[in-house]
Amino acid sequence: MRNHEYDIRRLSIDDLDQYNELLRYAFQVTEKTLLNYGWENDDIRQSKFPVLEHEHVLGCFDGDALVSQFAVYPLDMNIHSRIFPIGFVTSVATYPEYSGLGLMSRLMKESLTEMRAKGQTLAILYPYSIPLYRHRGWEIISDKMTWSISDPHMLVDEDVPGYVRRVPEDSSDLLALHSKFAKKTHGCLFRNDLAWDEYWRWDVYDTTVAIYYAADNTPLGYMVYRIDDDIMYVKELVYLNTEAKKGLLRYIIAHESMIDEVRANNYSGEPIAFALTDSDIKETIRPYIMGRIVDFEEFIKQYRFEADASGVALTLNITDPFLEWNNRTYTVELQDGAGRLITRPSTYKASMSIGTLTTLLLGYKRAPDLVALDRIVASEETIELLDDVLIRKKPYISDYL
């Protein structure tokens, strides 16, 4: 079997059944699984109508049979206080008998090419295989941390002037809060209706939303959680300031008679043990999201450097074996925190892959760390310059589509 025997085209609503069948086979979602999650037999089918309407979903067909698919959902992302249109890659699946034929690479290349045409200069995804994507120019850009404590009183209990109220999942205050949080948080995605639908889709148990309000009734933070078998599971904890953080932690402590343990997610990349009254905490960390720059030339025009970065230029020799338009040498001149491409080379030169450049510019890894991993080739002066002009902040990405 050869690649040219397969047709690639965009999926439509007419392909919905095959789209769902491939997803459920690839991720082994059975009827029993759906029923355990509280779904009716036809619910998952109906839920994918808006996906096919709004995503760019490419499929590879063997005759009339869909055998591989690759979807890109358009979202906006805060990257160092600049709003970038990006593509969130999802629903990646291939039947096993069609693996090893290069079908997924073809779908990925065509999808990324389409993203470039739409001005989506960055792509992100939740990887099922880090080596597979890394080989195609992707790199880890964020972590998911989980922590657990056996006593809620380990959390710092401080008085706050505001109050907490439980609200419905579709609360306008919740939606507005997340938008405000996204505007001020590097790496955060702006959730549209479909992203919110996916956020709630697989919640098996009754989930509760609690919002912290300031004394003047302004919403400043929220917590999404559930309680099961005397354990509080915190899906997301979001706050705009330290007052809201303290108020939400006090709210957790207020459940002391109901719970024996707290288990929570943390996407900031920073351990929380330092903020506890006791060090008896379990924290785990794992890679969460991978990303890759789709079009460096357009990406760097919008990218923000440190505000005082001016009067210097960097020559970047980028290797990208998957997207040929990135596989070249660029020189970026900095002025007042903005970068522009120039033709003359700089005395500061660095060589790296597009994946390494992505994780560097997104702030997941610093230049000295990447040099230690043999991921950047550059002089000490160039590494120092990179470390000075790039904003040192890890991305906060809590969404999974």
Instruction: For the chain, state the CA radius of gyration.
Output: 23
Reply yes or no on whether the pLDDT at 35 is more than 50.
Answer: no
Q: What is the pLDDT of residue 151?
A: 80
Is residue 221 within 8 A of residue 177, CB to CB? The reply is yes
Rounded Cα–Cα distance for residues 316 and 345 (Å): 9
Contact 301, 340 (CB under 8 A): yes
What percent of the chain has a predicted confidence (pLDDT) above 70? 89
pLDDT at 156: 75
Q: Same domain for 187 and 104?
A: no
**Residues contacting residue 98 through CB under 8 Å, at least 6 positions apart:** 1, 60, 62, 67, 68
Considering the domain architecture, whether residues 167 and 247 belong to the same structural domain is answered as yes
140 in any annotated domain: no
pLDDT at residue 389 is higher than 70: yes
Would you say 259 and 149 are in contact if contact means Cβ atoms under 8 Å apart?
no
Residue 227 CA from chain centroid, whole number: 26
Q: What is the pLDDT of residues 330-370, one digit of tens each?
A: 999 999 999 999 999 999 999 999 999 999 999 999 999 99
pLDDT tens digits along 248-297: 999 999 999 999 999 999 898 776 666 666 667 888 889 999 999 999 99
Between residues 100 and 329, which one has the greater pLDDT? 329
- Interval 177-202 mean pLDDT: 92
Contact (Cβ atoms closer than 8 angstroms) between residue 396 and residue 142 = yes
Between 315 and 13, where is the model more confident?
315
Q: Residues 319, 343: one domain? A: yes
Q: What is the pLDDT of residue 201?
A: 77
Q: What percent of the chain has pLDDT over 90?
A: 74
Supply the pLDDT for residue 26: 79
Q: Which of 214, 270, 274 has the alpha carbon at shortest distance from 245?
A: 214
| Domain identity same for 164 and 258 | yes
pLDDT value at residue 275: 63
pLDDT of the residue at 273: 66
Q: Do 308 and 242 belong together in one domain?
A: no
pLDDT band, very low/low/confident/very high, at 314 (cuts 50, 70, 90) = very high
Asked if pLDDT for residue 375 goes beyond 90, the answer is: yes
User: Could you tell me if 24 and 106 lie in one domain?
Assistant: yes
Amino acid at 179: S
Residue 216 lies in a domain: yes
Q: Which residue has the higher pLDDT, 54 or 335?
A: 335
Are 249 and 299 in the same domain?
Answer: no
- Is residue 88 within 8 Å of residue 401, measured between CB atoms? yes
Maximum separation of any 2 CA atoms in the chain, in Å? 68
Full DSSP string of 196-214: HHHHHHT--S--EEEEEE-
pLDDT of residue 33 exceeding 80, the answer is: no
Using 50, 70 and 90 to split pLDDT, how confident is the model at 31? very low
Residues 209-256: pLDDT tens digits?
999 999 999 999 999 999 999 999 999 999 999 999 999 999 999 999
Model pLDDT, residue 270: 72
Same domain for 99 and 21, yes or no, is yes
CATH number of the domain where residue 349 is located: 3.30.1050.10
Spatial CA neighbour of 61 closest among 107, 111, 92, 25: 107
Cα–Cα distances in Å, from 141 out to 75, 127, 287, 360, 361?
17, 11, 8, 9, 9
Provide the pLDDT confidence category of residue 304 given band limits of 50, 70 and 90: very high
pLDDT band at 38 (very low <50, low <70, confident <90, very high): very low
> Which tokens is 269 given?
């990349």
256, 153 contact by CB (below 8 A): yes
Residues 315, 260, single domain; the answer is no
Contact 239, 251 (CB under 8 A): no
What the block records as the tokens of 238 is 């979001």
In a domain, 384, yes or no: yes
Asked whether residue 26 is domain-assigned, the answer is yes
Same domain, 309 and 233: no
Q: Are 401 and 198 within 8 A, CB to CB?
A: yes
Domain count, the chain: 3
CA 122 to chain centre: 11
Give yes or no for residue 329 having a pLDDT over 70.
Answer: yes
28 pLDDT band (50/70/90 cuts)? low
User: If you ran DSSP here, which 8-state letter would residue 124 be given?
Assistant: E
More confident position, 141 or 129: 141
What are the tens digits of pLDDT across the range 67-114?
999 999 999 999 999 999 999 999 899 999 999 999 999 999 999 999
DSSP β-bridge partners for residue 261 = 231
How far apart (Å, rounded) are the C-alpha atoms in residues 101 and 7?
13
Q: Residue 134: which pLDDT band, with cuts at 50, 70 and 90?
A: very high
Residue 130 lies in a domain: no
248 and 364 inside one domain: no
Of the candidate ranges 32-46, 281-295, 310-324, the one whose mean pLDDT is the lowest: 32-46
Q: Is residue 136 assigned to a domain?
A: no
Range of the domain at 335: 294-389
Residue 5 has pLDDT above 90, yes or no: no
The structure tokens 């379990």 sit at 282
Q: Would residue 325 count as lying in a domain?
A: yes
pLDDT at residue 27 tops 80: no
CATH of the domain at 217: 3.40.630.30
Residue 115 in this model has a pLDDT that exceeds 60: yes
Is the pLDDT reported for residue 47 higher than 50?
no
Residues 112 and 161 in one domain: no
Task: Please state whether beta strands 312-319 and 329-335 pair in parallel, antiparallel, or not at all (unpaired).
Answer: antiparallel
